[in-house]
Amino acid sequence: MGKADLHLHTTASDGASTPADLVRLAGERHLNTISITDHDTIKGYLDAAGIANEVGVKLLPGVEVTTLHEKNEIHLLAYCFDEDHSELNNTLAGQRQARVNRMQQILDQLKKRSGFEFSLDEVISEAKSRNVGRPHLAQLMVKKKIVASFTEAFIRYLGRSVLDEIVPEFVQLEEMIRIVKRAGGAAILAHPGRLYDNKEIEAYIELGLDGLECIHPAHNFERQKELTKLAENRQLLITGGSDYHGTGKEYDPYFGILTLSEKHVNRLERLSQNRKRLKSEMKQ
């Protein structure tokens, strides 16, 4: 049975590899199936489709959506959706703008708390044409020698405490789950063991999740086992990936090492196929 990695970032969001380079690297690391799951954009996935065919790596449609639930930011992975679905694409366009507005709020907080003045324009140009996020601001802080490293920027200035002070305009978790399903895709809670306790995870499951990302570098083996058990008990899909963001970035060593068995990919694809079939039957 082949190996899969269903959580990867490219230069379309905050990853360091271009979509084409990432697909080539996946081939070199003997992955059979991958999904590019950039933050709130499918551009990386769309750009990689041609090269994936050439290299012989199976590429599933994917995206990691930043959603809100009771003011907390929750990352929702979506897979195997119809990539031309207009509601999904309109929502992602809204998310792109919400990211820009959120960055302005983060900059305002930074000024208030620490006196640092960054303009929105300079952070956006650091992000180039990508979907802007905290990693681009962290990069800028390193360049300006405010911090010695990317990680220091997160620890000192860009962590949860700053997010707790702002009100982003991201889509609600419940709403996004419904949109993903209407687009024929599967909705999976990303790295659940990283941020939430089991009670919170149970509450999110009630909102209609299709699965849990049990395999993720932020989960130790015990947590992975616990989450897998929970997913099995609740008849949910199990997914996983390395959350690779490029050489030298967070989780770099796990790409090609931390993998998902393809039997789980088959289940994921089957769910999506059934969903799409039902949708087309209802139209007739």
Interface contacts to ligand AMP, rule CB under 6 A: 14, 39, 133-135, 150-151, 154, 245, 250
Residue 98-117 contact track with Fe ion, rule CB under 5 A, x = bound:
--------------------
Residues 5 and 260 sit within 8 Å (Cβ to Cβ): yes
Q: Which is nearer to Fe ion, 66 or 118 (CB)?
A: 66
User: Does position 64 bind Zn ion by CB under 5 A?
Assistant: no
Residues 141 and 110 sit within 8 Å (Cβ to Cβ): no
Q: Which SS3 state, helix, strand or coil, does residue 69 take? A: strand
Task: By CB under 5 A, name the one of 75, 99, 130, 216 that touches Fe ion.
Answer: 75
Stretch that binds Zn ion, among 14-22, 95-103, 170-178, 181-189 (CB under 5 A): 14-22
Task: By CB under 5 A, name the one of 10, 243, 255, 259 that touches Fe ion.
Answer: 243
User: Does position 216 bind Fe ion by CB under 5 A?
Assistant: no
**Residue 134 partner contact from ligand AMP, Zn ion, Fe ion, none using kind-dependent CB cut-offs of 5 to 8 Å:** ligand AMP
Q: How far apart are CA 75 and CA 86, in angstroms?
A: 21
User: Does position 14 bind Zn ion by CB under 5 A?
Assistant: yes
- The tokens describing 269, both together, are 């694809």
Shortest Cβ 13–ligand AMP spacing (Å): 7
Residue 183-212 contact track with Fe ion, rule CB under 5 A, x = bound:
-------x----------------------
Give exposure, 171-196, as e/b (b: 16+ Cβ within 10 Å).
bebeebbebbbebbbbbbbbbbbeeb
**Residue 250 partner contact from Zn ion, ligand AMP, Fe ion, none using kind-dependent CB cut-offs of 5 to 8 Å:** ligand AMP
Considering only residues 259-278, where is the footprint of Fe ion by CB under 5 A? none
Complete DSSP assignment for 238-276? EEE---B-STTSTTGGGTTTS-EEHHHHHHHHHHHHHHH
Q: Which SS3 state, helix, strand or coil, does residue 45 take? A: helix
Phi-psi region of 203 (alpha: psi -120 to 50; beta: other; left: phi over 0): alpha
- Contacts to Zn ion by CB under 5 A: 14
